Amino acid sequence: MKDFNIMRDLLEDNKRLAEANHEILLSKGIFTINLLGSPGAGKTTLLEMLIRELKDEIGIAVIEGDLYTSNDADRIEKENIQVVQLNTKGVCHLEANMVKEALAELDLKDIDLLVIENVGNLVCTASFDLGEDIKITVLSVTEGTDKPIKYPLIFQKSKIVVVNKMDLLAHTDFSLDKFYQDIRTLGEDIKVFEVSCIGNQGIEEFASYLKKLIKENKLAGEKN
């Protein structure tokens, strides 16, 4: 049982640190998203689209998780918002202590939305909370209909699932019917957006839903 205990300790330490991160973010009125998905699901492109849709009205900062490179952070930096790169140096997921370090590098004033883009991984990323308000998982139709059932935890923990690359739907055997059926067994209340970043489909609807969540977060913060 040794390995099991090590893992449990790691997760408990992480939980404490995630709660501390959440306290800080809450006190600054920042709504925080943990953005998840497979490698190549289209997380960074979706994030670029979102930023363009929201940045005139909403203060946005991004923490970019990656194993070794700063490729994604370089892309986000072009949107002229604050970005911090976190290199996990081979670890397959972000942990709360890494995010704590990144928060120290951000100017949290005038930020309404913080997006933490996690490492591309459908497994361990689901187990390590970072201090976020919600998790969003991006699933591209090219990955196949079977993914929610094969990787249930990450979908169960997501408030929103974005079905991405809808422009490729006709070229795949992805079944939206089966997807909705499976996703409902994993969570009655999971909100789904069908999106294409190339076809600019569903982005506006997704962005305005997030705007609503960010506004509710602000109001809740002011009441406290």
Total of chain residues touching its own copies, rule CB under 8 A: 37
- 187 contributes a contact to its own copies by CB under 8 A: no
Residue 93 vs residues 61, 90, 97, 125: alpha-carbon distances, Å: 20, 9, 12, 5
Give the nearer residue to its own copies in terms of CB position, either 106 or 168.
Answer: 168
**The one among 51, 76, 122, 210 contacting its own copies by CB under 8 A:** 122
Q: Which run of H or of E encompasses 214?
A: helix 203-223
Phi, then psi, of 131 in degrees rounded to 5? 110, 15
Per DSSP, helices labelled H in 28-114 are: 43-54, 71-77, 96-105
3-state secondary structure of 171: helix
- 8 contributes a contact to its own copies by CB under 8 A: no
Q: Which span (22-30, 47-55, 118-126, 175-183) binds its own copies, by CB under 8 A?
A: 118-126
Q: Which span (47-55, 103-111, 149-157, 200-208) binds its own copies, by CB under 8 A?
A: 149-157
Position 119, amino acid = V
**The one among 27, 69, 185, 200 contacting its own copies by CB under 8 A:** 69
Q: What span, in angstroms and rounded, lies between the C-alpha atoms of 164 and 190?
A: 16
Q: State the nearest-atom distance from the C-beta of 76 to its own copies, in Å.
A: 14
Residue 165 vs residues 80, 142, 149, 203: alpha-carbon distances, Å: 25, 7, 20, 12
Give the nearer residue to its own copies in terms of CB position, either 187 or 221.
Answer: 187
3-state secondary structure of 127: coil
**The one among 150, 178, 212, 215 contacting its own copies by CB under 8 A:** 150
Q: Which of residues 72-101 bind its own copies (CB under 8 A)?
A: 90-92
- Binding interface with its own copies (CB under 8 A): 3, 6, 10, 38-40, 66-69, 71, 90-92, 119-124, 127, 140, 142-144, 146-147, 149-153, 165, 167-168, 171-172
